[in-house]
Structure 1
């Protein structure tokens, strides 16, 4: 956003909206003289009368009137809330909003805490027309919307995190189009603060007892230390290996569970490729100890390790995971730099060489689903690809995500059923039944394309096309009440039921070699 002084010239570049209609999508440069008024918020809302499309792209000078916004809010398509009844009879006007961080009465300051809160909305569309309205919202970068569940079909809900400065605008937009929504999280910061307090309290208890609490969320350093502990405690079957390093030179550590020698058939399991999905890394750590401690005690696990090796990568995106703990809890991507852009990171689950650059992946480096400059450009992805290829005997590729309670198989980059569709569906349903048997948690089973939406460059599409028939992606708890911020109290129940589903697939792999 442009930097604004108390008076002077403001330049806005973007798409122009007027009289409730979108003009052809051409870049417009608008120069407007203004005088800043004393305002309680941190945004200027500029009402511009009678804007016309110019034949050229040269700046147009227009007089403007500044009005105090109700909140720190941008405005979409000139729509105003019903509370602005006094302005209803005014002529149609283009309404543009500029978010000016820390501007009040000409002095740097901060928005009040109440205006800073983010909300997470659940939006339900009834038809394709409403769905297209949401997809339009996705294109408005200045709103800074974070879609937790993307608008793909009217049959599925859409969850979106909305910053305070966009909240009123988005709600008015939804209401004006008759689109139903509800509030999942009233104030995101309250949830984040509670999560942080729980982590600190757990860390204090761990320091006093010198034990790793599998029922809480941990830093990367703590996770890596526990990998060492597991390898030391169960050295007869567990070893820690490094398969590569991240963009910021953090090691990519995996645990190998094996009771034999040589290049035995193996199962690959990873978690945390999307860094903010904390329940996946936490569940992977619980599962690691479960596998190690059950060998020799549980007949099923013992049989698995007597016939197969298991490789478990608990943090597939260590840079992103560290960043979620230190800077931005909602970070999803890697932390690599993008040439020609100030925006950081690539979506590592759009970066695999499987329909790369196709539907469901963005070419915009600032997007959370940015595919990257080329397939396997991310060293985190390339490290796994190289490991799988060099091993040469991986028989199942399993990956943990959150959230939505789904168990999916290929394809995502296309909607053509895979050759093994019937078999994969049968295995998936058996695993979902095992998951449900413990705590009653229900999972939806199907291909990525038919279950959620078309998405290219995903890991299990690559593994399946590479020849690993048993390729599955889990979306763990929940279905949206907490989303990526699943309370720590649900970690162990989530891990317990997930292990039952994983074990069902692993047993099938053991019994059905190919």
Structure 2
């Protein structure tokens, strides 16, 4: 009888609050920024993290907690007081980044999100959107811009949801070069998904009046995957906001999900990844075990000789990362990649005075293996980057919607900077073409100005 009553109450809650009674709550949980100042500090923090099964945000592996490197970690409410007392007793400096994780979630409009299938003109790129809304947006935008873009089936998720990608570029009888971008590998990193939609919008709205994009779209197709980890993304909306992995079951269903950015066949599970399925960095039972990974790998491997750039979009940390994550050794064109990235972050700083860092993943972030960036580099793609978008820890994975616009604006300036580099160094007759296009625009403007004067 009690069980039936509980189910009735929960069902009523679903009808009233759209399933909020099913969601994992983080009431009173805090995110601390801790600085271990010695190897003893680091070891003690590792032991606490393992003992209490803490949710590490930075780094995401216990083994990566070292002296002198900031640690961002979510502490359950039940352990907050004890954790702070322990840190004080061990003279380990710390600050509180987030005082109540649930309040941050509740304070955003996401907590009151209502499913809306609006027209394309009314689609709000400054808000986070559910997967159903994104699917609907994809249908609308491909129909409106059918002259320039097409939608293609990439593969299916574990839960049999379709993964699509956009191909954006002018039709051509000849094979074209490709710039590839994946978003949403980690479910809780909603800003990455928001940026992919923003990028598509910007390319489609700018290209007619932008000689650079006009030239590039004649020679290059953009392949954009708005969301790869669709199952995990949906789960982060419906059940557990801070969910990171996929939703495939493991160990007879005792744990779920694989970290897709540890699942690619590039020095798979050697460093910075876990073979324990309960870990947020679980690399999977085998390389490319996940259907999502297989879908990306199949497409890229078939077109790798045509791919000029591979971008993978993440959060948080405000960095542009270069290969590699599994070794401190630089890639063969490390200087070229560094120069391109540093010019891009200079443009980002001009936009909103926000300073991103540049460097190899293993040097300025932490060791990791099996990432899509490193795997793409192994495929022979010259320019491969991981973008870690806003912020630096104030909100972490819960970046407020009011920061979507500035984040996307500054990231777009970096992308355009990199596209300019590709245009100048990898595309044929690009300089002449762009000059001629600018002359065409100038002459058109001159004629428009002249005609009214002569009438």
- Taking structure 2 as the reference length, the TM-score comes to 0.83
Q: RMSD value over aligned CA atoms?
A: 2.1
Q: Deviations over 1:184-230 (max 9, x none)?
A: 111111111122456527x67x7599721101010001011111111
Q: Which residue of 1 aligns with 2:36?
A: 125
Q: Which residue of 2 aligns with 1:78?
A: none
Larger relative CO (CA 8 A, sep 6+): 1 or 2? 2
Q: CA deviation at 1:507?
A: 2.3
SS in 2 for 1:223: helix
Q: Is the 8 A contact 1:116 1:165 kept in 2?
A: no
Q: Which residue of 2 aligns with 1:254?
A: 165
Query: For residues 290 and 235 of structure 2, what CA distance do their matches in structure 1 show?
Result: 17
> Would you say 1:339 and 2:251 are equivalent positions?
yes
Question: After TM superposition, which residue ranges in structure 1, 4 or more long, deviate above 3 angstroms?
Answer: 151-156, 196-199, 206-210
Query: For residues 192 and 472 of structure 1, what CA distance do their matches in structure 2 show?
Result: 30
Query: For residues 425 and 120 of structure 2, what CA distance do their matches in structure 1 show?
Result: 44
Q: Deviations over 1:416-465 (max 9, x none)?
A: 11111111111110111111111111101000011111111111110001
Q: Is the 8 A contact 2:54 2:73 kept in 1?
A: yes
Q: CA deviation at 1:477?
A: 0.4
Q: Which residue of 1 aligns with 2:56?
A: 147
> Would you say 1:405 and 2:289 are equivalent positions?
no
Q: Is the 8 A contact 1:263 1:391 kept in 2?
A: no
Q: Which residue of 2 aligns with 1:189?
A: 102
The count of corresponding residues between Structure 1 and Structure 2 is 398
> Would you say 1:510 and 2:419 are equivalent positions?
no
Matches within 5 A, 1:252-331: 252-261=163-172, 262-331=174-243
Q: CA deviation at 1:162?
A: 1.2
Q: Is the 8 A contact 1:199 1:217 kept in 2?
A: no
Q: CA deviation at 1:264?
A: 0.6
Q: Is the 8 A contact 1:411 1:448 kept in 2?
A: yes
Q: Is the 8 A contact 1:307 1:510 kept in 2?
A: no
Q: Deviations over 1:271-303 (max 9, x none)?
A: 110010001101111111111111112222222
Select which of 170, 181, 188 maps to 2:83.
170
Query: For residues 307 and 26 of structure 2, what CA distance do their matches in structure 1 show?
Result: 51
Which ranges of structure 2 fall in alignment gaps of 5 or more residues? 1-24, 428-455
Q: Is the 8 A contact 2:158 2:291 kept in 1?
A: yes
Q: Which residue of 1 aligns with 2:143?
A: 232
SS in 2 for 1:160: strand
Q: Deviations over 1:172-192 (max 9, x none)?
A: 222221111111111111111
Q: Is the 8 A contact 1:350 1:456 kept in 2?
A: yes
Query: For residues 315 and 261 of structure 2, what CA distance do their matches in structure 1 show?
Result: 13
Matches within 5 A, 1:2-13: none
Q: Which residue of 2 aligns with 1:443?
A: 356
Name the structure where strand makes up a greater proportion of residues.
Answer: 1
Query: For residues 482 and 228 of structure 1, what CA distance do their matches in structure 2 show?
Result: 32
Q: Is the 8 A contact 2:26 2:101 kept in 1?
A: no
Select which of 487, 492, 497 maps to 2:405.
492
Change (3 A) 1:445 1:208: closer
Query: For residues 324 and 112 of structure 2, what CA distance do their matches in structure 1 show?
Result: 37
Change (3 A) 1:197 1:506: closer
Q: Is the 8 A contact 2:26 2:76 kept in 1?
A: no
Q: Is the 8 A contact 1:356 1:457 kept in 2?
A: yes
Query: For residues 409 and 464 of structure 1, what CA distance do their matches in structure 2 show?
Result: 10
SS in 1 for 2:163: strand
SS in 1 for 2:94: strand
Select which of 280, 285, 296 maps to 1:384.
296
Change (3 A) 1:208 1:242: closer
SS in 2 for 1:512: helix
Q: Is the 8 A contact 2:120 2:141 kept in 1?
A: no
Which ranges of structure 1 fall in alignment gaps of 5 or more residues? 1-113
Q: Which residue of 2 aligns with 1:23?
A: none
Change (3 A) 1:502 1:152: farther
Q: CA deviation at 1:115?
A: 9.9
